[in-house]
């Protein structure tokens, strides 16, 4: 029960902060949150600690819990990504994620073709074929599961630990697109084929072909989604003072 209450408190506060219901500078008191959420002080304390780690709030002695500006949030945390995808800034978040993936995944595919262990190469081929079957069948939940697994294998197979640490962000991106109705029930045949091309190029050790096929996937992704962010302003984070 305590874990459930803790999760509920984090979700309640996180979604309201990221969604703008609790604006920058808003101050909350722990006792007010206890009453509002009907939870104990310890649950509030743990939830606030998580939100602090994400850069969403800070605690100020004898003042309370203050909401921080978006420039202080951790944009790479999967929770922040999920909350942004659920709000009005969904388009801007999708754009940032798509551009990040476009910069990283083709390079990861190239590196995986050169460095991935044999078991990852084989598994990528198997998963890409299963994705094709699920996509053609219109099995959305199964396709999402396989899509997340495919891109996770791609990132980890690169042998670059920093790329591998983007698995959670990519999973939230793919999940968010599906949950919010931005993925077709039947993916395009070209997209299914490009996933298979990536896997087969990696299995064959063809770095150039793996990178090119992955680039096709990302260009197609951006083309499909760019209407959702066309009018969304870009975010310019100020540099810290020197």
Residues 50 and 94 in one domain: no
Q: How far apart are the first and last CA of the chain?
A: 46
Whether 169 and 222 share a structural domain: yes
Q: What is the pTM for the complete model shown?
A: 0.91
* 26 shares a domain with 138: no
202 plus 118 within the same structural domain: yes
**Do 92 and 15 fall within a single domain?**
no
Q: Which residues contact 4 (CB under 8 A, 6 or more apart)?
A: none
Instruction: Calculate the alpha carbon distances from 121 to 138, 150, 157 in Å.
Output: 26, 11, 8
Asked if residue 116 is part of any domain, the answer here is yes
Instruction: Quote the pLDDT of residue 2.
Output: 58
**Angle, alpha carbons 140-141-145 (nearest 5°):** 115
Domain assignment present for residue 85? The answer is yes
Domain check: are 146 and 27 in the same one?
no
Mean pLDDT by 10 residues, the chain (242 residues): 82 96 96 93 95 97 95 95 93 95 98 98 98 96 98 98 96 94 91 97 98 97 92 87 81
What are the CA-CA distances from residue 181 to residues 1, 159, 228 (Å)?
32, 33, 12
CA 84 to chain centre: 10
Are residues 83 and 182 both part of a single domain?
Answer: yes
Q: How far apart, in whole angstroms, are the C-alpha atoms of residue 9 and residue 43?
A: 8
Residue 83 is predicted with a pLDDT of 96
What strand order describes the sheet that includes 64-67? 27-28, 64-67, 57-60
Q: Which of 30, 54, 72 is the last residue of a domain?
A: 72
Q: Does one domain contain both 114 and 220?
A: yes
Statement to judge: residues 126 and 51 lie in one domain: no
pLDDT at site 241:
84
pLDDT at 235: 84
Task: Read off the CATH number of the domain in which 40 is found.
Answer: 1.10.10.10
| DSSP-H helix ranges across 78-117 | 78-85, 90-115
Which CATH number fits the domain that encloses residue 192? 1.20.120.530
Packing angle, helices 118-137 and 189-204, rounded to 10: 170
* Spatial distance between the Cα atoms of 106 and 138, rounded to a whole number of angstroms: 27
- Tell me the CA distances in angstroms from 103 to 24, 114, 171, 218, 224, one per residue in order: 31, 18, 17, 9, 17
Residue 238, domain member (yes or no): no
Please indicate, yes or no, if residue 240 is contained in any of the structural domains.
no
Domain co-membership, 14 together with 36 = yes
Is 174 within a domain?
yes
Residue 7 within a domain:
yes
- Considering Cα of 147, then 105, then 238, then 64, what sign does the dihedral take? positive
Residue 63, domain extent: 2-72
Domain boundary among 72, 102, 129: 72
**Residue 16's CB: how many other CB atoms inside 10 A?**
16
Residues 114 and 174 in one domain: yes
The reply to whether 18 and 83 lie within a common domain is no
pLDDT for the residue 1? 43
């Amino acid at each position: 029960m305590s874990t459930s209450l803790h999760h509920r408190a984090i979700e309640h506060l996180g979604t309201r902060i990221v969604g703008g219901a609790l604006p920058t500078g808003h101050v909350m008191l722990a006792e007010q949150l206890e009453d509002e959420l009907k939870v104990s002080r310890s649950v509030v304390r743990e939830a606030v600690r998580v939100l602090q780690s994400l850069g969403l709030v800070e605690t100020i002695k004898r003042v309370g819990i203050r909401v921080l500006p978006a420039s202080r949030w951790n944009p790479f945390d999967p929770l922040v990504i999920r909350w942004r995808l659920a709000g009005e800034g969904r388009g801007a978040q999708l754009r940032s994620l798509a551009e990040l993936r476009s910069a990283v995944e083709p390079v990861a595919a190239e590196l995986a073709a050169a460095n991935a262990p044999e078991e990852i190469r084989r598994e990528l081929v198997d998963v890409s074929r299963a994705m094709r079957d699920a996509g053609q069948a219109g099995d959305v939940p199964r396709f999402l599961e396989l899509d997340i697994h495919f891109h996770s294998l791609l990132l980890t197979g690169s042998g670059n630990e920093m790329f591998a640490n983007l698995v959670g962000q990519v999973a939230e991106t793919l999940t968010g697109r599906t949950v919010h109705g931005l993925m077709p029930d039947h993916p395009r045949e070209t997209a299914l084929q490009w996933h298979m091309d990536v896997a087969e190029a990696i299995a064959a050790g063809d770095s150039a072909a793996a990178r090119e096929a992955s680039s096709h996937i990302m260009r197609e992704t951006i083309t499909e989604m760019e209407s959702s962010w066309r009018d969304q302003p870009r975010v310019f984070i100020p540099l810290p003072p020197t």
